[in-house]
Structure 1
Amino acid sequence: MQQSILILGACGQIGTELTLALRERYGNENVIASDIREGSDSLMNSGPFEILDATSYDAVEEIVMHYEVSEVYLMAAMLSATAEKFPERAWNLNMNSLFNVLNLAKEKKIDKIFWPSSIAVFGKNTPKENTPQHTLMEPSTVYGISKQTGERWCAYYNAKYDVDVRSVRYPGLISWKTQPGGGTTDYAVEIYLQALEEGTYNCFLKEDTALPMMFMDDAIRAAIELMESAGEKLSIRSSYNLGAMSFTPGEIAGSIKKQLPEFSISYEPDFRQAIADSWPSSIDDSQARKDWGWHPEFDLERTSAEMLKQLRTLN
């Protein structure tokens, strides 16, 4: 029987592109998108869509049963910078939505879950270079606290109830298809937009702030490859470290200047600098590479070339 996939938070930065990629792979009618609001035309017109509050167990269960859903990708979340402004709302969204899908899997109403964690689970006392898979985790943001807590619950439900939950710790994500969603690494999307539209960018992080980053195509592929991997190969049921590239605002500006020589950048760090300072500068993802063959395809130069090329076609 053809599997049915539900995406919660399908209109977000990752959710939109993930939905379209899954529909291309598994068939439009087999991938049900959902969110608390409607999404882009391409999302809405390419397959089933449901208005759905991911924090409502009854509402999620109803959709799961109606479509006979076997897999859930839980992408609904309030990201780092926005969550600092609305701590309780962020906690409730990020945690209640996770409990809902974990409990549905515990009750054997769904077979498999993908839930993204983040480099926000780490903290200022975590080793910043090549941050290990297993290490000290003292997150200092609401988003990071919710993701670290979520990791522990995922591992618990897997060990206690044999729930098949799979996760990766996403670094900052770069995409030309969707607008930034309130994250600290959003500068790496905004800078390309501003470079083309204004020829200049005022960055909210310091010039030398190195952070792990990933082009969205790699991020989507990682989720799908992990979900398609044989369960017995997976040794991590909290969340896998996932790496691709690391760079600073100065370095990304340099890569843009190779194609737009007149581009200029200035720096005016705000509250997001403290968040960035608590995160790693590079990631050791050797466990993901070993267990399920993870390998990124985009480096900084390829990412900059693709971002500028695609954004030009939109303007």
Structure 2
Amino acid sequence: MATLITGGAGFVGLEVVRLLLDRGESRPAVFSRNPSPQRLGNLADRVEAIAGDLGNFSHVLHAVKTTRPERIYHLGAMLSVPSDADPAAAIQTNAMGTFHVLEAARLFDVKQVIFSSSVGTYGYDIHEDVISDTTLQRPQFFYGATKAFGEYMGLFYKRKYGLDFRGIRYPSVIGPGVSTPGAVQYTSWVIEECARGNPFTIWVTPETRMPVMYIDEAAQATVQLADAPQARIETVNYLVDGLKPTPSAGELAAAVRAQIPGAQIDFVPDPQIQPLVDEIVRPLDDSRAREEWGWEPSYDLERMVSAFLARL
């Protein structure tokens, strides 16, 4: 199957590419601002690298026209902190970029688009104790607003043009090599910085419980959703969660200290970020992903920290 991965040199994108190659796909196309050999590492010779900007329709059209994919994993995006800092750029990359991918898919008869969304599409006025696929989406962050818009654009293209559009709402994804700031990136940075021997300050309270998922699981869930029989897809945009029960920031810190003796971790809640996080910190109900296409996480907290450290 011909496959195109936008953001394929990014955090989740690289793991999706690696997973596709491991299962035998031949030279998937990686579309990214900087798909350099340094970024792609040992995958560089096994993919078709295409440099381009999602916000430029000509770039997206060229990538889709030349690769003629049957499936697009649309994983490229600006994250929460950069999007809030530069909403004009986020509109181009996240909102217009998604429109460009969907329209190119329509023009060149791409069968399927898999869209990376986020729990950041939730925010204000959550009255339930648990966030589910049907919880009201009123995002606080500009990033979440662009992701919610992307989901609804995808639903439109599914209804009007018959595109097999599917979305996956990740929680906080933990893994090595996270470089882009995010409101909850402490979940990855606390492990990596402590492994380097550096002290680390977590900017939320120890009691904060942010749903998390290990990077390998995020890639696996993405590909598993794409592979699911179309007849099983009813909800279309799905929450997925990692280990349960959701660990607190304090429990994450304890797990890091258990595997990195002497790790120096303290807590200084950010007065701007903590109230926003508190609005959305609830357990996730991903039962529809489990029931409709068989999602099942496999990492506990100890295994997740251990796997992270093994890859550094």
State if a TM-score over 0.5 links the two structures. Answer: yes
- 1:17 aligned partner, one-letter code: E
- Secondary structure (helix, strand or coil) at the match of 2:29 reads strand
Of 268-277 and 114-123, the range deviating more from structure 2: 268-277
Q: Deviations over 1:124-170 (max 9, x none)?
A: 42246431210122111100111111111111221222111111100
Structure 1: where are the runs of 5+ without partners? Answer: none
Give 2:279's aligned residue: 278
Of 56-65 and 86-95, the range deviating more from structure 2: 56-65
Of 109-118 and 38-47, the range deviating more from structure 2: 38-47
Q: Deviations over 1:182-230 (max 9, x none)?
A: 2222111111112122253111222211111000111101011110111
- 2:105 aligned partner, one-letter code: A
Cα distance between partner residues in 1 of 2:129 and 2:303: 23
Cα distance between partner residues in 1 of 2:127 and 2:43: 40
Cα distance between partner residues in 1 of 2:125 and 2:269: 22
User: So what's the TM-score if we normalise by structure 2?
Assistant: 0.92
- 1:32 aligned partner, one-letter code: A
Q: Would you say the 8 A contact 2:102–2:157 is kept in 1?
A: yes
Does 2:130 match 1:133?
Answer: no
Of 201-210 and 99-108, the range deviating more from structure 2: 99-108
| Offset of residue 269 of structure 1 | 2.5
Give 2:293's aligned residue: 292
Cα distance between partner residues in 1 of 2:45 and 2:275: 41
Give 1:33's aligned residue: 30
| Offset of residue 69 of structure 1 | 1.5
Moved over 3 A (4+): none
Cα distance between partner residues in 2 of 1:154 and 1:26: 28
Give 1:201's aligned residue: 200
- Secondary structure (helix, strand or coil) at the match of 2:62 reads helix
Give 2:19's aligned residue: 21
Q: Would you say the 8 A contact 2:7–2:31 is kept in 1?
A: yes
- Secondary structure (helix, strand or coil) at the match of 2:23 reads helix
Q: Deviations over 1:55-112 (max 9, x none)?
A: 2222222222222221111111110112111111112210111111211233353111
- 2:193 aligned partner, one-letter code: Q
Count of residues in Structure 1 that have an aligned counterpart in Structure 2: 306
Q: Would you say the 8 A contact 2:211–2:247 is kept in 1?
A: yes
| Paired residues for 1:1-315 under 5 Å | 3-29=1-27, 31-37=28-34, 38=36, 39-127=39-127, 129-176=129-176, 178-198=177-197, 200-237=199-236, 239-245=237-243, 246-270=246-270, 271-311=272-312
Judged with a 3 Å threshold, the aligned counterparts in structure 2 of structure 1 residues 56 and 109 are, in CA distance, closer, same or farther, namely farther
Q: Would you say the 8 A contact 1:168–1:242 is kept in 2?
A: yes
- Secondary structure (helix, strand or coil) at the match of 1:305 reads helix
Cα distance between partner residues in 1 of 2:225 and 2:190: 30
Q: Would you say the 8 A contact 1:171–1:212 is kept in 2?
A: yes
- Secondary structure (helix, strand or coil) at the match of 1:76 reads coil
- Secondary structure (helix, strand or coil) at the match of 1:278 reads helix
| Offset of residue 278 of structure 1 | 2.9
Structure 2: where are the runs of 5+ without partners? Answer: none
- Secondary structure (helix, strand or coil) at the match of 2:217 reads helix
- Secondary structure (helix, strand or coil) at the match of 1:169 reads strand
Of 301-310 and 37-46, the range deviating more from structure 2: 37-46
What's the % identity of the aligned pairs?
Answer: 26
Q: Would you say the 8 A contact 1:180–1:190 is kept in 2?
A: no
Cα distance between partner residues in 2 of 1:64 and 1:218: 27
Cα distance between partner residues in 1 of 2:261 and 2:309: 13
- 2:9 aligned partner, one-letter code: C
Q: Would you say the 8 A contact 1:199–1:262 is kept in 2?
A: no
Q: Would you say the 8 A contact 1:4–1:71 is kept in 2?
A: yes
Q: Would you say the 8 A contact 2:64–2:108 is kept in 1?
A: no
Cα distance between partner residues in 2 of 1:199 and 1:92: 36
Cα distance between partner residues in 1 of 2:130 and 2:47: 40
Q: Would you say the 8 A contact 2:208–2:281 is kept in 1?
A: no
